[in-house]
Structure 1
């Protein structure tokens, strides 16, 4: 599977030590609808441009922003653009068409895939219910496996077993501390591991991924013909060498 590692500019050297296949999380939409970028090395070339809309506003007329994105792809020799949020239909259609003319790829959430005939839909593999195998098979049947890529989000969630509570996201160090010395189990439908523990306020349930479960998810997708996937720093910083190394 062709794998990309998403990173911001602050972790660029760490990411480059793992792989040359990077998605650069250094771009966002400004409040005026223009493209803003964090500093990157002048010599940096290749990979993908990852665009955030946090704090920004999509312009009513998307052509200008879309042209800026395509120009940056050509300048940096990026192979395409990754959208990490739910963008407007007009923006997706315009960007998809402009990128396709330059033989570049657009990656976007599956919910927006219908807006981009040439685009690749991103499927999140971190499920808390249902069946991952069924989820992947249904998406492959709907879009075709060649139009799919995995968002290999690392599951690290801590749930209260009592009704009404919300899940808490864990960091890798906190996950390792909680799991130490505890028996862990494997959920085949979710393709993830889990364990339980008790606190003064009640019992809790931790659902998580490790190198083995993430590889199993990739293997499951490859059997369906899905050939691309994305990891993200710092989410997999303790696993990146094992996941992306030779």
Structure 2
């Protein structure tokens, strides 16, 4: 799961997630004459003496309420945070394209998205990269695998030197869920492995996330490969060589899953 800021209509900045209008408002206020009482405040208070309103949109149940409570405690007297939730990540993705809709995710300062939707959102110009993310403290402690996931080019493709478009905070797994009663009623067999997805009785009855990684992963698992296998690696080439039909076998498996 990833946190990212909608853009370019309402772009976000590092962890403060301020929109351009809010930044301009703060800049104007900070340039105003400082009163005697202000001069007596600590430098910390001066930096946060203006109320900042942050609006987040997340997948329901993906952000612990304790996080929000802790953040509100830290921001007490300095800003406010509100969070609305959606039942599906795809709902958030759709809302990013509809800023005119009331309470749309496109008007939020940050949203949660899955990897499957990050690339398309970037390609459509719905998000803005996090400026100066690579000099932030959280970036230095981020595992390299996570960095690869969120560094993209302007088309949403993975890029080693690309900009940082999101902040990962949660990892998930791909699972198979099925109705055993309906499957048996239609003459199918219980799903116990990925190869069982290829049985004829399931043709036209599979639902998949609209993400190439998930689709290709299912085909690879049906061939006994890891879902995270590097298909360009030598070990993967060797594995394919042991499969009847080699790469065509993978193509056929993928075609069967697609059907």
TM-score normalised by L of structure 1? 0.25
* Structure (1 or 2) with the greater strand fraction: 1
* Structure (1 or 2) with the greater helix fraction: 2
Q: Which has the larger radius of gyration?
A: 2
